[in-house]
Amino acid sequence: GRRTLVKALLDIASGGVESAGAESEERATLRRECWHAALKVLTNLTNENRLGCRCARASGGIAALCGALRERWRGGVAPDGARDVDGAAAVLGLLVNLIERDNDNCDQLAASDAFTDEASGERLSAAQFLAKIYADSRAARSADGGGDAAGGVGDKAALRQQGEAELAGISVEAPAAIAVACLLRRGVAGRRFAVASALERRGVRAGLRGLAATIADFREFCAQAGALTKSAIDMLEGLEADLSRVGGDKGADEDEAVAPTGTGAMDDDPYELALEEDSVDEAPRDTEFWTSAWS
């Protein structure tokens, strides 16, 4: 059959980077590069773009990414036997694009039953699994000495390795934190107390406020680099405020939905409201690029 470009790219993303049989190192490298390239294209197509998010949703984007994220984060998938941190970061970045401004995608992610705890076999909600990823990443960095360079301050190679480890960590932790915040804001993640407790059990003592701090650090870094639009900054600030508020509300009913607050609320975001007037039929001429048949 014929597929749209977005569907074809999502099929590549969900297919993973492993081969069913033996293959040469060159072919394995090519397979991995194609997988990452597909995710990069999808990330560009869905960045602050409602039409791109709709196309991904129509092509089963959330289910595809849930499967890809689950596979990338399990142990033993990287060449060194560890988790595929780079692959997980790429999937998380795309996942955030799909849910941060599209409520239907967010609801689909919240309803996913694709996740389990690798150690216990316990079924996890999407928010709990994302919180686990966040905590696992922080724990891994702490186990490596909290990011301290093993060779001392004068060891440039060790310092470079430290910087790379910190960058890899934040590339996972920031989108994981943003995704959890989006799910909790919609009030469909359920049992926010369970998410906060899961964080604390895994060593994130600040709970939801720890996620808020990570988002704030990420926002400030990207804003200084000129990598965020005004609407993106507003949205992140709203998520930070929500997490800080519910993170300090220890007496709240654990099943109570979290009502959107702050200027960055999804339904009140200026960018979101402006795009409400748009429709697929009124999209620019380059819309054909999204829906063209892809063999």
pLDDT band at 286, cuts 50/70/90?
A: very low
Strand partners, 4: 293
- Confirm if 47 and 98 have CB atoms less than 8 A apart: no
pLDDT band at 275, cuts 50/70/90?
A: very low
Mean pLDDT of 61-86: 84
Percent of the chain with pLDDT over 90: 48
Confidence (pLDDT) at 265: 40
The yes-or-no verdict on residue 115 having pLDDT over 90 is yes
The yes-or-no verdict on residue 160 having pLDDT over 90 is no
Sign of CA dihedral 94, 95, 99, 105: positive
Lowest-confidence segment of 14-18, 28-32, 214-218 by average pLDDT: 14-18
pTM for the full predicted model: 0.79
Q: Could you read off the pLDDT of 53-64 as tens digits, one per residue?
A: 999 999 999 999
Mean pLDDT of 13-27: 79
Confidence (pLDDT) at 24: 82
The yes-or-no verdict on residue 118 having pLDDT over 90 is no
The yes-or-no verdict on residue 277 having pLDDT over 80 is no
The yes-or-no verdict on residue 159 having pLDDT over 50 is yes
pLDDT band at 260, cuts 50/70/90?
A: very low
The yes-or-no verdict on residue 72 having pLDDT over 60 is yes
Q: Which residue has the higher pLDDT, 271 or 137?
A: 137
- Tokens, residue 295: 């063999």
Lowest-confidence segment of 35-39, 89-93, 152-156 by average pLDDT: 152-156
